Amino acid sequence: MATALAAALAVTACAEPAGEPAGEPAMGPTTGPVPPPAALPVGWRWESYGGIEVGVPAEFGYDNGSQRLGQWCVGQPRANPGSPPVVGRPGIATAAGCPESVDVADTGPVVSLERELGDSPDGVTRSGDRTTVRLRGVAVIVQVGEELRERIAGTVRVVDSVDHHGCPVRHAVTENPAYRPVRAPAGDAITSVSACRYPLGVDDTIISSLRLDGAAAQQALATVRAEPVGGGPDEPQTCAAEVSYGDEVVVLLAGGGEIVMRYSGCDHRGFDDGRTVRRLGPATAKLFLTGANTVFAGAGVAPLPGE
């Protein structure tokens, strides 16, 4: 995240030096091609990231995947009895320097989504309690119990156009941070709001998404429209102009129109429907920055401007 969000972090250090992965089988990891995706079982949900979707059981929560896997040796053990399984989303992690572990007893059950570094080919790698599916530049790390591991890995699929929440995999805002909607959402007949989260300036595919339906969608949009006109709160003096839009944005799709929600930079914050920019109220913003769209920093949730 940009400076405004990163300021909340407290950098910690781990006493353990980096070393060989814990729980690594003597024979080493095995690799193979990515199989065709399986149908999603009843009671599961889709998770979207970078043009890839993976299915997980509905009871999975959310956590900072970078922290969960990379800093597992810091603080409370992740695999305490009763620790809930989570979908790990990329976030700012504390500089702990934990050795990599492919043992679910260290990390707890986690399905982590992240960009694949380097030029690793598409395929499946299995090592210890971890199965990693690499597809189109995304790594889906499935580190859960044996019973679920291959079932989850088997759901991984490519999404070329629109994800399961109705969000385009690619949006013009990623290449133009100053993008303004052409059309605002219709004033009535709102049946759903899709909140589509995108990166700015680096990658060009979706980070995550969620959708509100029915009365929840109508109430959320009404809350946005009740925010004061004028945008902000801004602090342009705290960062350079070239990074003032931040590193990510949420685009709200509703009623045939769009609202761009800017929150990660030091300037241009607010809800912009192409005609009016309204203030970024933290409580209102959190309606769309929850669940899969949660912004993580270290071991917690990144604070929003004004909190």
Q: Enumerate the domain spans of the chain.
A: 3-19+32-158, 172-301
Distance CA 27, CA 30 (A): 8
The model's pLDDT over 167-194, given as tens digits with 9 standing for 90+, comes to: 999 999 999 999 999 999 987 779 999 9
For residues 30-38, average pLDDT? 73
Residue 185's pLDDT is: 95
Phi, psi (deg, nearest 5) at residue 172: -60, -25
More confident: 181 or 120: 181
Mean pLDDT score of the chain, rounded to an integer?
87
For residues 226-245, average pLDDT? 96
Share of the chain above pLDDT 70, in %: 86
**SS3 sequence of the chain:** CCHHHHCCCCCCCCCCCCCCCECCCCCCCEEECCCCCCCCCCCEEEEEECCEEEEEECCCEEEEHHHHHHCCCCCCCCCCCCCCCEEEECCECCCCCCCCECCHHHHCCEEEEEECCCCCCCEEEEECCEEEEEECCEEEEEECCHHHHHHHHCCCEECCCECCCCCECCCHHHCCCCCCCCCCCCCCCCCEEEEEEEECCCCCCCCEEEEEEHHHHHHHHHHHHCCCECCCCCCHHHCCHHHCCCCEEEEEEECCEEEEEECCCCCCCEEECCCCEECCCHHHHCCCCCHHHCCEECCEECCCCCC
Residue 300's pLDDT is: 86
Residue 187's pLDDT is: 78
Answer yes or no: is pLDDT of 19 > 80: no
- The candidate with the shortest Cα–Cα distance to 208, out of 218, 198, 193, is 198
The model's pLDDT over 43-96, given as tens digits with 9 standing for 90+, comes to: 999 999 999 999 999 999 999 999 889 888 887 666 565 678 999 999 888 876
For residues 12-16, average pLDDT? 35
For residues 210-226, average pLDDT? 96
Answer yes or no: is pLDDT of 281 > 60: yes
Residue 93's pLDDT is: 82
- The candidate with the shortest Cα–Cα distance to 196, out of 123, 285, 288, 121, is 288
Answer yes or no: is pLDDT of 235 > 90: yes
Answer yes or no: is pLDDT of 26 > 50: no
Q: Say what the pTM is.
A: 0.86
Residue 78's pLDDT is: 61
Answer yes or no: is pLDDT of 7 > 80: no
Burial class (CB in 10 A: 0-12, 13-18, 19+), 201: middle
Answer yes or no: is pLDDT of 267 > 60: yes
Q: How confident is the model at residue 23 (pLDDT cuts 50, 70, 90)?
A: very low
Distance CA 246, CA 183 (A): 23
